Structure 1
């Protein structure tokens, strides 16, 4: 495949499989394939869902709370009983790209197989070798899913897959569509395929299917998703105010590599994706992803551009905190985010012009104020930063007031938030990734 992470080692690996088995690979080819498969696993963000602290790497057990109940990620270590050690490469590929287990049962689409269907044969081969030969087996069963009958019956998932998940042939054909240049084509492969960015950043339909699986399906792709663990994924298209309009290629690369840049910081599930995934990618691949995202036309082309309004800053600097929420902001937020809302990036993100704050859905901002946030150290940015949780310090009315102030000030001009909205969101306040054991605090 043109866009796979497929190299000479993978070629010899396929030849060995045709002749016999993975065990017949030469040591140097095996080592190269394992390294390549590890890179594919990082690009695919496997660890974020399949690694829970205290269970061992890739031993599964991550809980996903869905409208139909809770399900737990699989053990994908090569343990033959509790993991995938008994899977052939063909069975492994079918599970990853088609959502079908070794026993023929359908996987739930919490596993992003509709995106992984786009992955190349070479990448799947390297990934298989890595999980079979480069990962330690862990003999741990995962908790049973708590989805009540009859919703627990997997047979209807066969219909779901037929209707909403592309065939591998169709997905591969779309992967090979011509784009502007090779770099953008590479970025499209990474974003739409292994990176499965649309799984969070694209809207879903009534059957929880992604409404668009690639940009060839239209501008709904990456136009912003529904809340996940309380946080609302933003648009990754060139939408003004709520998307990446105004972000440069270097802004996107820095964000994917470190979780922070001059325009904002990662939180929620995006922190997991960067910590376990994109921070490990090469600069060339990060630039390819950035160039592809910059090529996406806005989903809402009529949105006006954000322009800085100094009125709120002027009032605060003159000692006037009479606006709704301004006093709470001065007491609890101004020290890090400044009276002008520009923050001290990349340590403390700007609030002025931040796409998250101008979203129609204020849930992300409310949850960050309520529950706090931690940005762990990354390889290229080893410092960790934390924002305290204010749910035990501020009332629902105070949180509503300060969120309303932030969403209105400095030209943000987003809709106000009420105490009733904060109370409702408090019921679904997310648990931090640090507490869940997804991300270690360095």
Structure 2
């Protein structure tokens, strides 16, 4: 024991005499933390909301349109004036996990602090080091929020946080709940915590709160969310037809890593979540997330499994386009998605059995037909694919007919869509539709 203590003391005494040894050691520690923090930032999808084209990385400025007005994501670079450079680690942790700014004001819950409350102290520490040491400061303020007074008063958010956002202690106690194995436990931490998947894929209440923040509180968690920019987040539970029933672990991993698989492709906000976030995760973490999602029981167990019906394919292949929407489908869709609806995955996704098409809410499908979609290249799938926009080619009735045809064919058997519904959805068309200059025909 004496020899051991002496050896350690002598070692560190000698180390101090070596020029630069201690500083190099600290630099190595910092570099490791920066790298770890970058990984946590990617797992938390920070860039998707805080990086906007034309501004610096993490300089904020993304608009979130809420029923009360528009708010903009903040500058989270280490700039001392416009960013978070003056934040201590404790203040940073409070903002991330409790939704309270350095000046004591409450953050709006567009920042998913109810989910981030589950993040570990170690991950928060690494995240802080990354933003302070690994991110370039940007001397640029985010745009001012556009919320009319008195709704712009943040004081009521204190009550909102007390009612709807868990304390760090309560959230992390839930993280430590008993789960079947370590893989599912890691997946639960990533999905429920930094990944904040429930922010989009769980339903919200009248106060815009997530009705469920983890699977421990019931099957509402990840059972499908409200429309975001015109797109409806699907169920991530094992629901038949509208959820992930039938997806394998490898299907989920491939989707999170590349935005595409044999069953579908990402669009809307999910594309950003994959591009900025999940594609950067390790295979081990992606498999853990997949294992957790596969463990979730269906929210609606009464739904029957999808079964392929060849009737529509047989009619199209025989040249019968008498069904409403069938000719539009043949003229504009069948080349990529085939007459049998099976597509050419993973390049062009199948429409037969696709959960997005079988949802009660047709908004996602209508908006994709209207405004198109682009799937960018990913590290593990560098090819990009684009779905053309038909909003300036097809009338509302034509879109309603082809969407109804797709939702009914091949065993999808989803409710029809009317031209009136298409017209109503045009009012909430995604921003990209306006940016592309697409003006739908009447």
Q: TM-score range by the shorter chain?
A: over 0.9
Aligned to 1:80: 80
Q: Which residue of 2 aligns with 1:343?
A: 343
Q: Residues 433 and 98 from structure 1, CA distance in 2 versus in 1: closer, same or farther, beyond 3 angstroms?
A: farther
TM-superposition CA deviations, 1:378-425 (whole Å, max 9, x none):
000000000010000000000000000000000000000000000010
| Aligned-partner SS, 1:152 | coil
Paired residues of 1:71 and 1:145 also in contact (CA < 8 A): yes
User: Which secondary structure does the structure 2 equivalent of 1:357 belong to?
Assistant: coil
Aligned to 1:155: 155
Return the offset for 1:431.
Answer: 2.4
The aligned counterpart of 1:19 is: none
Q: For the aligned residues, what is the CA RMSD? A: 1.3
Output one character per residue of 1:31-56: Cα deviation in whole Å (capped at 9) or x when no partner: 10000000000000000000011110
SS in 2 for 1:126: helix
The separation in 2 between residues aligned to 1:119 and 1:127, in whole angstroms, is 10
C-alpha displacement of 1:349: 0.2
Give the deviation of 1:278 after TM superposition: 0.1
The alignment of Structure 1 onto Structure 2 pairs a total of residues equal to: 414
3-state DSSP class of the match of 2:29? Answer: helix
Q: Distance in 2 between matches of 1:143 and 1:340?
A: 48
Q: Is the 8 A contact 2:377 2:384 kept in 1?
A: yes
Structure 2 unmatched ranges of 5 or more: 1-22, 437-442
1:294 corresponds to which residue?
294
Query: Any idea what SS the aligned residue of 2:71 has?
Result: strand
CA contact (8 A) 1:373 1:432 kept: no
Cα distance in structure 1, aligned partners of 2:158 and 2:120? 23
Map 1:83-122 → 2, pairs under 5 A: 83-122=83-122
Is 2:281 aligned against 1:281?
Answer: yes
Match of 1:55 in 2: 55
Which has the greater radius of gyration?
2
Match of 2:419 in 1: 419
Measure the CA separation in 2 of the matches of 1:101 and 1:126: 19
Equivalent positions of 1:23-422 (< 5 A) are: 26-422=26-422
User: What stretches of structure 1 move > 6 A for 4+ residues in a row?
Assistant: none
Whether the 8 Å CA contact 2:371–2:433 is kept in 1: the answer is: no
| SS class of match (2:64) | strand
SS of 2:431's equivalent? coil
Instruction: Please give the alpha-carbon distance, in whole angstroms, between the structure 2 residues aligned to 1:142 and 1:105.
Output: 17
SS in 1 for 2:429: coil
C-alpha change, 1:37 and 1:82, in structure 2 (3 Å) is same
